Structure 1
Amino acid sequence: MPRQLSFLPDDYDEFLRLLKERIRTAQLRAVLSVNRELILLYWHIGREILHRQRQEGWGAKVIERLAKDLKRDFPQMKGFSRSNLTYMRAFAEAYPDEQFVQQVVGQIPWGHNVRLLDMVKDPEARLWYACKAIEYGWSRNVLIHQIESNLHQRQGSAITNFAQTLPPSQSDLAQSLIKDPYMMDFITLSEGALERELEQALVSHIREFLLELGVGFSFMGNQFPIVVDGKEYKIDLLFYHVKLRCYIVIELKMGDFEPAYSGQMNFYVSAVDDLLRHPDDQPTIGLILCRSKSKTTVEYALRNVSTPIGVSTHRVPDQFKSTLPSIEELEQELESAATALEAEIDVDPS
């Protein structure tokens, strides 16, 4: 095959390489800035809790109440559990200097800081591991391994120029920062916030709609937490159906139906079956509501059933018809509610 003549200049590849590196560096700096703000927020919360415990005698019950109130007002943020508030207090106690938090531990994810608090009690050693994590871009698992292998004692306690060092953009630490769930929940751009507001309003509307049907739905909670292998997940809506004698998991998605939603729903259904279902209960039912600009799609799903039940032209199984709303009813209700809500908050449905 004859070689094609290139219209590109000879130094184009080098120019592209430098440009991509600059983009990655700018992305990492932006992520580090957001992470630092999140860590500072946690530090300020922890400092206020610590101050009130010392000055006003706050006890554990106040922390529990604070966690409930914050989770109620900021339901999309994962960081306001009682245990995490306790970590914030310990974090503020361990690092009383705000400037130090900004310059050092604010450069690593919250999960790294929690592990350091748990595993390293000596302040000097804790600082050393934090600096090394920044310098070499350690992931959380690598950090844990280095602590467990006593790397600090084996290498000495010399501090490097960590404050002037960015972790490499492709390092494990950079990837951890980009994917950190605490940080991504902390970011709320205006467009995303409006879409989330609409989604929350539709979830509330579907809850009221199902309860008003009066056919056996008993509301268990929204953003209902389930813990699997130590990690917390939140179900949009959880009901118990007293006539069917089973749990019903409901997830609402903004946008077109994606195959991954079925996998997520199967995980939730399996978790509810394993964690909440009584031996006398029937298998848990999953209901996925997807709303896009073109069409609202409803899917009923049962655990261990490979063919989706109730997608598009499918119908609710005969044994459920008298107790569950039809797909047509749900689609119509969701569409009418969305239209009204969009008009109210002036959101483009696309």
Structure 2
Amino acid sequence: MENRLPTGYAEFLADLKERIRRARVKAALSVNRELILLYWEIGRMILERQRKEGWGSKVIDRLAQDLRREFPDLKGFSARNLKYMRAFAEAYPDKKFVQEVLAQITWYHNITLLEKVKDPTERIWYIQQTIEHGWSRNVLVHQIESGLYHRKGKAITNFDRTLPAPQSDLAQEMLKDPYVFDFLGLTEDIRERELEKQLIARIRDFLLELGVGFAFVGSQVHLEVGGEDFYLDLLFYHLKLRCYVVIELKTGEFKPEYAGKMNFYLSAVDDLLRHPDDRPSIGIILCKSKNKVIVEYALRDTTKPIGVSSYRLTRALPEEIKSSLPSVEELERELKK
């Protein structure tokens, strides 16, 4: 076996061992940063040898055996992980970016991003969000699988006209479309009050889906206006925007009158609840579905900042799975047999 190894393998292995030893000493001071840089260096070196000398995957298998024999107390040198290192170095050729950005998140975060996000721009966005919000790996997986990158900032709003910059940009970025409430396990024919109750019962999951900065104030919040009683479905306070956020839930399609009602609610909240230091309250109308043109007309002349988003109770199936499922007609034929 030894004779069949490619030229330069022994020197290459010795060099890797020395790098690993040096990294272990530094790791006492900065474990994660040194680990990420070490893995990137190993991946880069493997990549270079494969490109220049045509090393195949079998050499990686042998390399894994030798490194684990030399460092039996370390778990990161399996053949699979060495291949991740190679993919990591290939995806991020800029060492400075690895040092300054990627070393701020764990190796498991980096592997997750490599496996689940193929578009480089989208991947960098998730990296930045993970660093900014301190997402755990499980939260990162949830955000990727729910398609957060493609949903964030997509709601139809009038913020550019009703809020000053930069609050209008921050508020727009706060909203998603659609919101995904698959954690509720509900059917599509649910009533508004039941949807509200279930969201409150799962408030931690609901806050995760809403995004960073939302603080729950209450449900069915009472307002008295002109001697009459009114109730807000859900009331939040956004810590970053420094304003109240009123959320109204609608289990059907958006209707123009919803915008007028929300405009009224926001006027009341600004008058009765808003502190002088708070910024203007924002309204979010969550509907099962919406017609983009109708929403834009409904919001055009409203004076209060309002956004309209749809929601889903189940996560959309991938196309390859969806195409393999039987149709209703096929199921009916099978049941009749």
TM-score norm. by structure 2 comes to: 0.37
Whose Rg is larger?
2
TM-score norm. by structure 1 comes to: 0.36
